[in-house]
Amino acid sequence: MKSTGRMSWPIVIMLSATATAGYICRVNISTAAPLLMKEFGLTQIQMGSIFSSFLLGYALFQVPSGIVSDRFGARRVLAFVTWLWAIVSIVQTIVGWGPFNMGLTLSIPLFMIFRFLLGITASPTYPASAQGVSKWILPHYQGRANGIVIASIGIGSALAPPMVSNIMIKLGWRTALIASALPALIIALIWLKIKEPVQTDIYQTEDRTIPVPGPVNKNGLKSLSFSLLTLSYTLQGYVGYIFVTWFYLYLVQERHFGLLSGAWMSSLPWILSIISIPAGGWISDKLAAGRFFGPVWGRRIVPLVGMAAAGILISVGAHTGSAFMAAISLAFATAFILCVEGPFWAMMMRIAVGKSGTAGGIMNMGSNVGGLISPALTPVIASLIGWENALHVAAGLAIFGALLWLGIKPIPTTH
């Protein structure tokens, strides 16, 4: 791929398809959770521990996977880990089956081990994609490119509930999880046919053009802006992962939707996010490139509005007595909390030019530390003060995360 002033759609779509396949493997267990809880007699808190096991492995290996991505490149790393996603997703179905029926005492640790391993193998997904975007995509398209890649969150989360629920009702949760690994296998085979794209020959920021190999922000990872960016992304991850892990169960167990109706309703936020995430990146690119807002406020506007709106809608959805209105409000809250992904990753690339894999790993580790805490902590808070107040806590954190963007700005580059 050469620098033609246009975005390279094929590689962006491939990165998004890869992340989508990985996300289906990641969230499949959330939809299978009701049958898992019934078969193994799990409580909400025990199920939350299984959810968090994935995020522990995922968060711990964000920085190493970012460093590896900078070293070996996006294509090699993603081509390798897609095979691992499929293998681990299939192997975890042996828990409680035939000779592996070891009772509750060992079933929970086994689930946690397999989900932890899946988290490790999934950890390079977005750092490697960020390394690829920073290397192959011109910077004035990076907001929308990151938005399209991270729209995999919405696509994977929209596809998984109806896919998994329909199969598990007919054939059981094990067959459903095996079927959910098939997209990863397909993507792994496609990567075998893809060659490394050619690096762009200029690095054009919103305000100037710099020859490759380009500048490196030596102090970018130590800057206040990067610390605030990571903290804000941590809070965004805390809020976002509540919807990734608990939204379906919340609708079924707290709002009394049926298994199938809850599955379809829990797909709504992710359908909305398929639109909102790329749209947030596109709007951010346009605002950052324009003269009115410029590269600082142009990148701030979408996170400020998106995270604040999400907080308001979460509180509305938590408080309403209507199950339908709660589902709608929380669905739009999810779309808003995720529309900020493109600006986050584009700003990260402006702060840490030349180290996007590593910086992306650090920032994404923050998000997943938040995501590690929220699946386990949310049901605990709910057991103490109720689900409504647990969601109000998340709403407050979303608004605080938005306000942190007032202190975030690009770091000047040095040659």
Q: How many domains does the chain have?
A: 1
203 lies in some domain: no
384 lies in some domain: yes
Q: What domain range is 87 assigned to?
A: 9-194+214-407
331 lies in some domain: yes
Tens of each residue's pLDDT in the chain, 415 residues: 444 445 577 888 888 899 889 888 887 887 788 888 888 888 877 887 887 788 788 888 988 988 888 888 888 899 999 999 999 989 888 887 766 566 666 778 888 899 999 999 999 988 888 888 877 777 777 788 888 888 877 777 777 777 787 888 888 888 888 888 899 999 999 988 877 666 554 444 444 444 344 444 556 677 888 899 999 999 998 888 777 666 766 677 667 576 666 666 767 777 888 889 889 988 988 888 878 877 788 888 999 999 999 999 988 887 787 777 878 888 889 889 989 988 998 888 888 776 777 888 888 888 878 877 887 787 788 888 887 788 888 899 999 999 999 999 876 654 4
Residues of the chain by 3-state class (helix, strand, coil), percent to 5:
80, 0, 20
Distance separating alpha carbons of residues 355 and 148, to the nearest angstrom: 21
290 lies in some domain: yes
Looking at residue 411, the DSSP 8-state letter turns out to be: P
200 lies in some domain: no
Distance separating alpha carbons of residues 285 and 299, to the nearest angstrom: 8
390 lies in some domain: yes
In sign, the C-alpha dihedral spanning 162, 164, 167, 170 is negative
**CATH code, domain carrying 313:** 1.20.1250.20
3 lies in some domain: no
* Inter-residue contact 104 to 41 (CB < 8 Å): yes
1 lies in some domain: no
